[in-house]
Amino acid sequence: MQWRGRRGSRNIEDRRGQPARGGAAVGGLGVLAVVLIGYVLGIDVTPLLQDVSSPQSSQPRELSAEDQAAAAFVSVTLADTEEVWAELFQSQLGRAYRPATLVLFSGATQSPCGGANGATGPFYCPSDRKAYLDTDFFVTLERRLGAQGDFAAAYVVAHEIAHHVQNELGILGRVNQLRASASPQDSNALSVRVELQADCLSGVWARHASQMFGTIDRGDIEEAVTAARQIGDDTLQRAAGQRPMPHTFTHGSAEQRSRWFLTGLGSGQIGDCDTFSADNL
């Protein structure tokens, strides 16, 4: 992905140079196995990290050159999502797109949806219309999960912004109402449909970003597909030493995640990402 020297987004809230806002400070590859287990199980594993986390500091953290490069990359990717979704909302839906804000943090921070730290992974909070990302997750993605390349990281950003697209369309609100009264297994099934739709919308974005900017090549797409497979629930459960249990899936299998991404990539149509009407995910 060609991103250096390109326009970045103004909708970045950078908290990385600030002291951690609550929660345990998490860092280093030594705790990534614990983080991975938390991601698989869908739980906050902060209590398990207390003994291996670095002590919180009240002093601002100095950002390295790698930190600055990661922020610039995220900013450019976010700007690309803004341009693509603004055009698609107008051309396919006949309405305006309101962009999300993306919060960059290190270690821990707070959101209206709860605390964020290295154990939660990237997420989108519909309450404040913000996506939250610790750029150290890119290290986890590459070194622990085996998804290498800058477009694998772009896919992560695009996926979280796809949740914002769902929020703008009123999908997240309706699903959350259904999940509130659903059984745990049915709630998980609804979560899978939400996540697979976000994967499909990420593919829609990738197709149009390639056409609009000419900065994405075939190798980039392969990186995104690999990332989708590496963060499939079955892949993550195996990596955590578990037997895959489909009834516990909350994001979808490796095959489902990569296939729905490719579905969006192939059509470029928002309407083709209706996972809620699909009989076969």
What pLDDT digit, counting tens, does each position of 100-145 carry? Answer: 999 998 888 889 988 877 667 789 999 999 999 887 777 776 666 6
pLDDT above 90 covers a percentage of the chain that reads: 48
Specify which of 126-140, 160-174, 211-225 reaches the highest per-range mean pLDDT: 160-174
Q: Is the pLDDT of residue 86 over 80?
A: yes
Band (pLDDT 50/70/90 cuts) for residue 61 is low
Specify which of 64-78, 155-169, 224-238 reaches the highest per-range mean pLDDT: 155-169
Q: Where are the alpha helices (DSSP H) in the chain?
A: 32-41, 46-49, 65-88, 136-139, 150-168, 171-180, 184-213, 218-230, 233-239, 254-267
Q: Which helix (H) or strand (E) holds 250?
A: none
Q: Is the pLDDT of residue 147 over 80?
A: no
Helix, strand, coil shares of the chain as percentages rounded to 5? 55, 10, 35
Mean pLDDT of the region 56-83: 77
Mean pLDDT of the region 231-237: 88
**Separation between Cα atoms, residue 266 and residue 248, nearest integer Å:** 29
Mean pLDDT of the region 15-28: 53
Band (pLDDT 50/70/90 cuts) for residue 24 is very low
pLDDT above 70 covers a percentage of the chain that reads: 77
Band (pLDDT 50/70/90 cuts) for residue 236 is confident
Question: What is the structure's pLDDT at 145?
Answer: 62
Band (pLDDT 50/70/90 cuts) for residue 239 is confident
Question: What is the structure's pLDDT at 208?
Answer: 96
| 241-253 pLDDT tens trace | 889 999 999 999 9
Mean pLDDT of the region 180-198: 94
Question: What is the structure's pLDDT at 10?
Answer: 93
Question: What is the structure's pLDDT at 60?
Answer: 54
Instruction: Quote the tokens at residue 60.
Output: 């601002």
Mark residue 125 as left, alpha or beta (left: phi above 0; alpha: psi -120 to 50; beta: remaining).
beta
The neighbouring-strand residues paired with 102 are: 12, 131
Question: What is the structure's pLDDT at 207?
Answer: 95
pTM: 0.83
Question: What is the structure's pLDDT at 189?
Answer: 94
Angle between helices 184-213 and 218-230 (to 10 degrees): 170
Neighbours of 199 (CB within 10 A): 29
